[in-house]
């Protein structure tokens, strides 16, 4: 009996070369992963408003934490995460379709080149972007999820999905680095933007990452491995 369990353990352990974090030894997804995910979900009250949004945010946080814990000394990037999600999905589906993902993921570097100019009332704004690291993504998610009194609206999803990519905001020639703002300040800043501006920020990101948008959808699809 132990022999078969050992065989499963051996089958699951593999080495993967991540795009930003070099080679890593990890486990392919197994029932242990599903059990942890199930335990994570079961603690979410089902009778709260916008429960779907909570599930999405909690799922992204769970996946990030799962990856971060693979190797606590490495700073895993958003690109590493997308690579791993695709790797796990291909494995779970036993798919051997050749993937061009590694090449496609290079589009994330193009985020650094964008200078998005916006006009917000009388203010001239320039936004610069970057690739987030998973620890920072989880800080934003923790901030959004820990305030239990506030409904988790669609705007929270928009905030996470856009502002995690922000490097700096230049307002009338004064540059604010996102890293120097608290999350509370960042969220308040987000609320200042009108829907049209937010759509422009979102479009700049999704246009740049157009060739990996299918993989990006996996990020919030909690049914993929559940």
Partner 1 sequence: MISYNDVLKVSKLYKDKQFDEVFSYITERIPSKNIIDFFKKCKAEKFVKTNDCIKLDVSKKELIIYEDNFLKNLPCDTEGIYHIDNYKIIIGYPNINSMLPASCIKQIQYKDIILNVNPDNYSHIPLSLIKKCTSYIETYLDKLNDTYVYHVNDEFCSRFSYNMAIIINIIYLCFVHDYESLIQQQLLLMQQYHFTYQDFNYLSINSINDYTRVINVKLNKNDGATK
CB-nearer residue toward partner 1: 34 or 148: 34
Contact 144, 152 (CB under 8 A): yes
Q: How far is the CB of 87 from partner 1 (least distance, A)?
A: 12
CA distances to 56, 81, 196 from 225, rounded to whole Å, are 13, 15, 35
Q: How far is the CB of 28 from partner 1 (least distance, A)?
A: 6
Nearest to 151 by CA among 6, 49, 43: 49
Q: Is 144 exposed, middle or buried (0-12, 13-18, 19+ CB in 10 A)?
A: buried
CB-nearer residue toward partner 1: 47 or 113: 47
How far apart (Å, rounded) are the C-alpha atoms in residues 139 and 146?
A: 10
CB-nearer residue toward partner 1: 10 or 146: 10
Q: How far is the CB of 95 from partner 1 (least distance, A)?
A: 10
Name beta bridge partners: 128: 115, 168
Which residues here bind partner 1, judged by CB under 8 A? 1, 3-5, 7-9, 11-12, 28-35, 38, 42, 46, 91-94, 225
CB-nearer residue toward partner 1: 1 or 191: 1
Q: How far is the CB of 49 from partner 1 (least distance, A)?
A: 18
């Amino acid at each position: 009996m132990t022999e078969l369990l050992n065989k499963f353990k051996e089958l699951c352990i593999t080495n993967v070369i991540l795009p930003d974090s070099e080679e890593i030894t990890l486990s392919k997804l197994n029932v242990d992963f599903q059990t942890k995910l199930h335990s994570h979900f079961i603690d979410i009250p089902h009778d709260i408003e916008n429960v779907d949004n909570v599930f999405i945010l909690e799922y992204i946080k769970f996946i990030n934490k799962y990856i971060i814990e693979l190797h606590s000394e490495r700073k895993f990037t958003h690109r590493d995460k997308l690579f791993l999600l695709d790797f796990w999905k291909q494995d779970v589906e036993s798919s051997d379709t050749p993937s061009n993902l590694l090449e496609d993921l290079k589009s994330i570097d193009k985020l650094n080149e964008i200078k998005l100019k916006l006009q917000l009332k009388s203010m001239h704004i320039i936004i610069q972007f970057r690739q987030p690291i998973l620890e920072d993504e989880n800080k934003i998610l923790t901030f959004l999820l820990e305030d239990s009194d506030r409904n988790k609206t669609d705007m929270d999803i928009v905030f996470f999905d856009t502002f995690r990519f922000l490097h700096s905001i230049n307002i009338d020639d004064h540059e604010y680095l996102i890293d120097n703002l608290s999350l509370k300040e960042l969220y308040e800043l987000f609320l200042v933007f009108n829907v049209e501006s937010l759509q422009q920020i979102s479009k700049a990101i999704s246009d740049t990452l157009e060739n990996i948008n299918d993989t990006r959808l996996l990020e919030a699809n909690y049914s993929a491995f559940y």
